[in-house]
Amino acid sequence: MFILTKFSDLVQISPEDFSKHSIVAIEDNINAKYANKVVQKIGLCISLYDVLWTSEGLIGHGTGLVNVNVEFRMIVFRPFKGEVMLGRIRSSTPSGIHLRTDFFDDIFIPYEELPQGAEYNHSEQIWIWNFDEERLFYDNHEMVRFQVIDEEWHDQTPAGPTQAEDTPAKTPYKIKGSMAAEGLGVCLWWDGA
Amino acid sequence: MKVVEAQAAVLSNYEVLQHLTQQKDRYKQRKRRGPPNLETVVRELIQYLQSHPNPLSQKPSTYTPNSISQLLERLSPYELSKGEVVMILNLRPASVAALNTVIEEMGERFSDEQQEEMVTIILEVLGQFEAAGPDANGNADDAAETGNVS
């Protein structure tokens, strides 16, 4: 579920941070820039893991910023294809089920990835799995196990003047999952037995 | 920003939780806070890792720093892939059915006895939830409360 990614970046320490130890200032700077943000094709950055190397601090003309080149490793959330994870049901629509984890919201299970015999109940707005005459409910807020089958990336960098103003921003990182295989789906179905 | 190495290593949930709690303690000691975005994601992630049925929600923790190497050693005869072992560490499958979701084509690769053996090894190394713990309705909170009273 988590990987370490090695980055190199220029860290600029502003004068108000000079009272901090340089390593603390660098750490805060990197975390402020990366934590809880998605880097395209890498994943959701969580926190700095360790600093591998730093250059001398250099002050350029015009500003009082200290420039330091840093090489560091980040903890990144990036489940691999085929990984089985836990998530919670956020909402259901006829097209599938939206899942979330506490820290990541964009997980979608399309209807064709639900087990055979699953049907959508329009009045309750939930999915129901008819299994051996039993009706099993995909209730909201229920813990489920799912398998990651695909990921989708949308770069949010502005496209320039050609971009229409009212186009809604697409989520930068989206996970597509499956709950069709045996053992996947609401945890209670499998653990309770 | 430059990505030097997209995937330098894989971390298990336990290692991530370890790192985050240490980092939290360090901040506490120095009586300072990290950037707000870091605080948010760390708080939410710890919450996720410590909610039932995640094995890390169990207290006292059954995971130790040695667990990982011990598990790797004992599962080595089965020649599981790295991803499969990481998932076993993260999910701690407690039955053959649960193990089946984690291991690809398990029926063809392993005999029934081998599957049972793997479940036993996982149980021995990583522990398990107490049977008397959360009931079938998943009322982990209720179970914890009654536990405190008695």
Q: What is the distance between the alpha carbons of residues A59 and A51, in angstroms, rounded to a whole number?
A: 21
ipTM: 0.87
Residue A102 sits in the same domain as residue A175: yes
β-pairing, A107-110 vs A173-178, is parallel
Residue B53 sits in the same domain as residue B79: no
Q: Is the Cβ of A190 closer than 8 Å to some Cβ of chain B?
A: yes
pLDDT band, very low/low/confident/very high, at A33 (cuts 50, 70, 90): very high
Q: Does a structural domain hold residue A108?
A: yes
Q: Nearest CA to CA, how far is A57 from chain B (Å)?
A: 17
What pLDDT is attached to residue B38? 93
Percent helix, strand and coil across chain A, each rounded to 5?
Answer: 10, 50, 40
Q: Distances from the Cα of B55 to the Cαs of A41, A50, A106, B94, in angstroms?
A: 29, 26, 23, 10
Greatest mean pLDDT range, A93-97, A167-171, B130-134: A93-97
Q: Is the Cβ of A153 closer than 8 Å to some Cβ of chain B?
A: no
Range of the domain at A36: 1-75
For chain B, how many residues are written? 150
Q: Does a structural domain hold residue A164?
A: no
Q: Does a structural domain hold residue A119?
A: yes
CB contacts of B31 in chain A (<8 Å) are none
What pLDDT is attached to residue A49? 94
Q: Nearest CA to CA, how far is B17 from chain A (Å)?
A: 11
Express each pLDDT in B25-75 by its tens digit.
999 998 888 899 999 999 999 999 988 788 888 878 888 888 888 888 888
Q: Does a structural domain hold residue A163?
A: no
Q: Which residues pair with A9 in a beta bridge?
A: A70
**CATH code where residue A101 lies:** 2.40.50.140
Q: What is the distance between the alpha carbons of residues B16 and A1, in angstroms, rounded to a whole number?
A: 10
Whether residue A149 has pLDDT greater than 90? yes
Total of domains in chain B: 2
CB contacts of A39 in chain B (<8 Å) are 1, 3
Residue B24 sits in the same domain as residue B46: yes
CB contacts of B26 in chain A (<8 Å) are none
Average pLDDT on B8-19 reads 92
